[in-house]
């Protein structure tokens, strides 16, 4: 049974999309039954083209990527989420969404903040570099997470490990 992970950011157009793409790509590469999803509390409606470009540069098919609301993950037909990761940059005073989800066993919630690459200076060149660096940083944490026995680790131990990864 797949482990479903939801990655949240307010607009679901950059960081959360990078995280969804990287986690699904790496999980497939390493044969892990992990499925990443991304959403936003106030979705922008489209995915930042620099996010798509950064994912495509490492061979990820982005044809089905879209900016979507977290409401898609609260209904009865939504996947049972094991983990919810917020990727907003609270250090930059961004308000990260707080996901309630369904009422059974709530997912583990963790915050892995990243600066918004959309705000990078230096025109398109600066933004491309910022998106690529963000993709790499997110990919590193996703690799660390995929090293964990997500399906079998006790909840408290998993929370501890995810928080440790967030500090790396």
Catalytic residues: 9, 88, 96
Q: Does residue 117 contact residue 91 with C-beta atoms inside 8 Å?
A: no
- How many CB atoms within 10 Å of residue 58? 13
Residue where the block lists tokens 């969404």: 97
How many residues does the structure list for the chain? Answer: 168
**Whose CA is closest to 37, among 13, 49, 19?**
19
Sheet holding 108-111, edge to edge: 34-39, 3-8, 81-86, 108-111
Determine the Cα angle at 84 with ends 118 and 3, to 5°. 120
* Distance, CA of 136 to CA of 142 (rounded, Å): 10
């Amino acid at each position: 049974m797949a482990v479903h992970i939801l990655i949240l950011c307010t607009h679901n157009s950059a960081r959360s999309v990078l995280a969804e793409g990287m986690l699904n790509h790496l999980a497939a590469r390493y044969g892990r039954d992990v499925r990443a999803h991304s959403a936003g509390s106030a979705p922008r409606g489209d995915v930042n083209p620099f996010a798509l470009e950064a994912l495509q540069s490492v061979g990820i098919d982005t044809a089905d990527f879209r900016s979507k609301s977290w409401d898609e993950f609260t209904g009865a037909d939504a996947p049972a989420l094991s983990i919810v990761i917020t990727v907003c940059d609270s250090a930059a005073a961004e308000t990260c969404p707080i996901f309630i989800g369904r009422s059974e066993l709530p997912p583990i919630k963790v915050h892995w903040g990243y600066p918004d690459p959309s705000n990078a200076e230096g025109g398109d060149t600066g933004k491309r570099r910022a998106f690529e660096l963000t993709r790499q940083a997110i990919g590193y944490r996703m690799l660390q997470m995929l090293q964990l026995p997500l399906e079998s680790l006790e909840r408290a131990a998993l929370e501890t490990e995810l928080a440790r990864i967030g500090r790396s």
